[in-house]
Amino acid sequence: MIKRIFIVGLLIVAAYLAYKQFAVRDYSSDAVAVANSVNEILLALGATDADIAGQYRRQMSNGNARWIEFNKRARVSFDEKAAAALDDMAARLGCDVVKSKTSEGDEIRVKSSDRIYYYLIFLKKPAARRANRVAIVIDDLGYNLKDVEEFLALGAPMTYAVLPREHNSRSTAELLSGRGAAYMVHFPLEPDDPLVNPGRAAALTSMGDKEIAGRFAAAIKTVPGAFGVSNHMGSKFTRTKDKMRTFLSLVQENGLIYFDSRTTEKSVASSVAAELGMRVFVNQIFLDNDGSREAIDKQLALVLKKSKKQPLTFAIGHVHKKNLPRAIKDFIPRFEEAGVEFVSLKELYGDTGPIKR
């Protein structure tokens, strides 16, 4: 009898431990409590709906834990009053508040353990903008961590596109995040030439929606903190309307933006995005298809010429082109003299569109 009671006791303990290990733990109510407190703090700071530059929420999971992640960008000054209110909230709700500086302003992360409940960015008050702006995207990061250093040292806002599922994809994202740089997932899409390998993360036109969604989910996990997606290659995929609708829907559902690298003039990205209510900017100039300094200078001169005549100009360069950072450095004074300022894509999309941390 005692042996039977002992065995039953062991079974009960084992069942309890198994429940604790495998049962879904929902922390959504904790996240909502944080969100409500953040809203109260913003109201107390005088924020109105007009001061909210963008916001979204999404369901998160990690193992058997579930919660909601909130994201808000507010045109409100981060001062001692705001810092004290957030610290009081953290003490009251038993969570942590992590503060950091970014190119956009003061970023606040409210978290518990490894669960981030809220990303809040107190945006810098925008300086008086010059009439025209140029956005340069640097593609193909993710292989070598050292390549990006020359671009980061330029002192001008750039946007970086990191290839997913490469050896240094995650490390590159962490490096850029630590420097406050804007970066996207440079997602490989199928090119026209079947002999060209777009990479193991690529989405192909032969794939069904479910497989594309799986590729997408696996890829973006390897570039944490990306605010958007651009296409690597993709001359075949980006002119296939039904596949682009599937792909852009995934971009939209994940709170990201899309930048069309425009590797083909027949890209349907803009028209499909319009159907989905998404804002999409499109590349206009490749800077270094010819990597010689003379050719790059010629392309930068074309960017400068265009940027004098139009409010926004977009160009793409590549991180491994050794002459590119030096050429951009030499051209920066010429852009400044012309009254043209450099801007990141994240800032441009953030004017009206959703932004992922």
Give yes or no: residues 40 and 144 share one domain.
no
| Residue scoring higher pLDDT (170 or 62) | 170
- 18 falls within a domain: no
Mean pLDDT is lowest, of 23-27, 30-34, 306-310, for: 23-27
User: Which one of 123, 143, 170 terminates a domain?
Assistant: 123
Instruction: Report CA torsion sign: 294, 323, 139, 309.
Output: negative
Q: What CATH number is attached to the domain comprising 174?
A: 3.20.20.370
- 6 falls within a domain: no
Taking CB atoms within 8 Å and a gap of at least 24, the contacts of 112-116 are 112/27, 112/30, 114/62, 115/27, 115/31, 115/60, 115/62, 115/65, 115/67, 116/60, 116/69
- 19 falls within a domain: no
At 242-260, the pLDDT tens digits run 999 999 999 999 999 999 9
Give yes or no: residues 113 and 147 share one domain.
no
User: Which one of 123, 146, 177 terminates a domain?
Assistant: 123
At 111-142, the pLDDT tens digits run 999 899 999 999 976 555 556 999 999 999 99
- 13 falls within a domain: no
- 288 falls within a domain: yes
Q: What does each C-alpha distance from 14 to 10, 17, 63 come to in angstroms?
A: 6, 5, 20
- 242 falls within a domain: yes
User: Which one of 77, 100, 123 terminates a domain?
Assistant: 123
The percentage of the chain sitting over the pLDDT mark of 90, rounded to a whole number, equals 76
- 112 falls within a domain: yes
Give yes or no: residues 184 and 317 share one domain.
yes
Q: Which residue has 């001692």 as its token pair?
A: 80
Give yes or no: residues 181 and 220 share one domain.
yes
| Both tokens assigned to 352 | 């009206």
Interatomic CA distance for residues 322 and 332, integer angstroms: 17
Specify the pLDDT at position 216. Answer: 98
Interatomic CA distance for residues 330 and 296, integer angstroms: 11
Give yes or no: residues 101 and 244 share one domain.
no
- Asked whether the whole model's pTM tops 0.75, one would answer no
Specify the pLDDT at position 338. Answer: 94
Q: What CATH number is attached to the domain comprising 37?
A: 3.30.460
Give yes or no: residues 119 and 136 share one domain.
no
Give yes or no: residues 211 and 91 share one domain.
no
Interatomic CA distance for residues 130 and 313, integer angstroms: 13
Indicate if the pLDDT at residue 266 is higher than 60.
yes
Mean pLDDT is lowest, of 86-95, 98-107, 289-298, for: 98-107
Interatomic CA distance for residues 347 and 180, integer angstroms: 13
Q: What share of the chain is helix, strand, coil (3-state, %, to 5)?
A: 40, 25, 35
Count up the domains in the chain and report the number: 2
Indicate if the pLDDT at residue 357 is higher than 70.
no
Give yes or no: residues 249 and 215 share one domain.
yes
Range of the domain at 146: 132-350
